[in-house]
Amino acid sequence: MSGTLIRLAGVLFGLVFGFAAMVIVSGLWGFIVGGIVFFGCSAASDWIWRRNATPEEIRQDLESRTRDTST
């Protein structure tokens, strides 16, 4: 699996489960829990990618991120 696909899946799962948590808990706590779930899924997908990536893939990812940022 490519890194982009893994990261995209993490964000999509985060959106779905974060929204579900917001609906279940509701109110301000629902908003807080939904945000935590979203960021947790995003961070977990990035961690999984980094754990399975080769040093070359990590280097390419860092180069891509620094090249794509505007100053």
Quick: pLDDT tens for 26-57.
Answer: 889 999 999 999 999 999 988 988 898 889 98
pTM of the model: 0.74
Q: Would you place residue 20 in the very low, low, confident or very high pLDDT band (cuts 50, 70, 90)?
A: very high
Q: Let me know if 49 is exposed, middle or buried by CB neighbors in 10 A (0-12, 13-18, 19+).
A: buried
Q: How far apart are CA 35 and CA 39, in angstroms?
A: 6
Choose between 3 and 10: higher pLDDT: 10
pLDDT for the residue 62 = 84
pLDDT at 4 over 80: no
